[in-house]
Structure 1
Amino acid sequence: MIEANEDAFEKFKKHRPDIVFNIAEGANGISREAQIPAMLDMLQIPYTGSDPLTLTTCLDKARTKEILSYYKIPTAKFLLAETLNDLENFHLKFPVIIKPVGEGSSKGIFNSSFIQNIDDLKEKLVYNFEIYKQPFLIEEFLPGREFTVALIGNDSETEVLPIVEINFNELPEDLIPIYSYEAKWIVDTRDKPLKIFSCPAEIDNALEEKIKSIALKTYKVLRCKDWSRIDIRLDENGIPNVLEVNPLPGILPDPDDNSCFPKAARAAGLSYEEMINKVLFSAIKRYNLV
């Protein structure tokens, strides 16, 4: 085990591991998830998962959506606001959702992030700019069902694991149907877990194929490697739209924890250890180490 801190470079240089299983999210800046892989690239040490460019791009929600839009992959209409002056170009339909541009684990996404008019939007942005010290993504709210898709592998061998659905009907009535901070960390606890995930999702074959196709295309255009988890939500027409891309997905080992990637792996018949090794072996093959 090597901690992802400022001593990591010298430890990697000293130990020279054959390959590193990277789960380091970093601590500072929009490039934080890329810092350990960048060290390893410099030292020419192989590692699992995506490279620094993909990790940094995907942590920036606006940059991710710009690339998706270029490749005509469905994603909710959006605007990036660094100051209130950016609302001069506001052209979105209410309701909207606001999110910090560079956070994960639902940080900064609350019930109050669901906004239905311009005055409320301005008020919430002023408050959030001060709290989070970063730009905010403003997205049109997608009213449909929400899914998350785990993928393992590379190129033509990339495997889509069973799709997970988020069941918002399990949330209290006073919560908006989004996987907010309240839903993830306050309402859904280990002591009182919600049945908020279904896996495999109960969907027809046509929708399953649409979701898989969009997930695979997203995985490819963002150059994800070895594994990733892609969040998808249906719009008012039932079309799957990409919400976020997580090339460094959470993998809590305890089945009692609502961790989506291991949940999808278990639904595919993989134990936790088999899931980890499947990711590892994908990286080993990619580096031609066998």
Structure 2
Amino acid sequence: MKKKLKVLVLFDGTSPTTLDQDFSKELKTKDWKTEADVMAALGKLGHSAEHLAIYDDVDLVRQKMESCAPDVLFNLVEQFKNRTGFDQNIVSFFEMQDLPFTGCGSTGLTLCKHKGISKKILHYHRIHVPNFLVIPRGQRITRPKQLKFPILVKPVKEEASYGISQASFVQNEEQFRERVAFIHEKYNSDAIAEEYIEGRELYVSLMGNVRLTVFPIRELVFREVPPDEPKIATYKAKWDEEYRKRWGLRHLPFADNRWLRAYRSSTDAREQALFY
């Protein structure tokens, strides 16, 4: 029989929080569904779970560890003071305190957040990546000739497709300069420009350290997007339910082309349900 653990679930606070603040009301809302699902799953598995929200005081973690003495931290923290750039710093605190936690370590978070650095690492290990260029703020916006159109332009460090829209797909010099300048000004961020490669949007989740568990592959299917338009996982494509419905965007189990053609050609709702 597996050991039942005492788990402290950490998640983001949207305003200053206290040590034993009750979030039972928030956990019943749609915006807190992930946190609620984690708490419920841990309880269902027989583990004892408490929660703590962090906004601007990391010392709350130390205080909670003293009073709660959990076996592990289940880390859902993605920001600090509503700024997503500091999630790796939160994890660094866990590491410095020798606290066992779930999720990626601080080095991994730092490297994967910078799209330019992560692509260089992949390329070093002979994994193919699109040709790309990082354009820092304050630098003259120019495109080297080896970077071919069409090009995708986006913030170099943002995540969850923040800063990506259909306007990110540029096909000429004017669009290129305008979009890079927009990223610099709107997001106060360096920009990365990479050659657009038509393909499929696949999601693969991994769990583990030395021995990895690979979860079933999922695909973002663009059912109503015209064939001559780029299929991009924009911010709206991920987070705007009305937009997703309008363009027939679905996350489906990955399958071969015959399976996808059968789904895309089906107009019967009962037939489409079979593909889930």
Question: What is the TM-score of this pair, normalised by structure 1?
Answer: 0.62
Counterpart pick for 1:107 among 144, 148, 162: 162
- Report sequence identity in percent: 32
Counterpart position of 1:26 = 79
Counterpart position of 1:270 = none
Moved more, 25-34 or 58-67: 25-34
| Alpha-carbon distance, 1:199 to partner | 0.5
Aligned runs of 1:108-257 on 2, under 5 Å? 108-155=163-210, 157-171=211-225, 176-186=230-240, 188=242, 194-202=248-256
Report the structure number with the largest CA radius of gyration.
2
| Alpha-carbon distance, 1:98 to partner | 0.8
Answering whether residue 61 of structure 2 is matched by residue 11 of structure 1, we say: yes
| Alpha-carbon distance, 1:184 to partner | 2.2
Asked if structure 1 preserves the Cα contact closer than 8 Å seen for 2:206 and 2:214, the reply is: yes
Asked if structure 2 preserves the Cα contact closer than 8 Å seen for 1:80 and 1:86, the reply is: no
Q: CA RMSD in A?
A: 2.7
Counterpart position of 1:239 = none
Q: 1:90 to 1:25 in 2, by over 3 A?
A: farther
Give the residue type in structure 2 aligned to 1:114.
F
Asked if structure 2 preserves the Cα contact closer than 8 Å seen for 1:79 and 1:90, the reply is: no
Asked if structure 1 preserves the Cα contact closer than 8 Å seen for 2:180 and 2:191, the reply is: yes
Asked if structure 2 preserves the Cα contact closer than 8 Å seen for 1:26 and 1:35, the reply is: no
Asked if structure 2 preserves the Cα contact closer than 8 Å seen for 1:34 and 1:56, the reply is: yes
Paired residues in the alignment total: 204
Moved more, 131-140 or 19-28: 19-28
d(CA) in 2 for partners of 1:92 and 1:107? 23
| Alpha-carbon distance, 1:30 to partner | 6.9
Answering whether residue 119 of structure 2 is matched by residue 65 of structure 1, we say: yes
| Alpha-carbon distance, 1:40 to partner | 1.1
Give the residue type in structure 1 aligned to 2:78.
E
Deviations 1:71-123 (A, max 9, x none): 11111111001145252545211000011111112110000000001121011
Counterpart position of 2:44 = none
Counterpart position of 1:247 = none
Moved more, 157-166 or 1-10: 1-10
Q: 1:90 to 1:4 in 2, by over 3 A?
A: farther
| Alpha-carbon distance, 1:3 to partner | 1.8
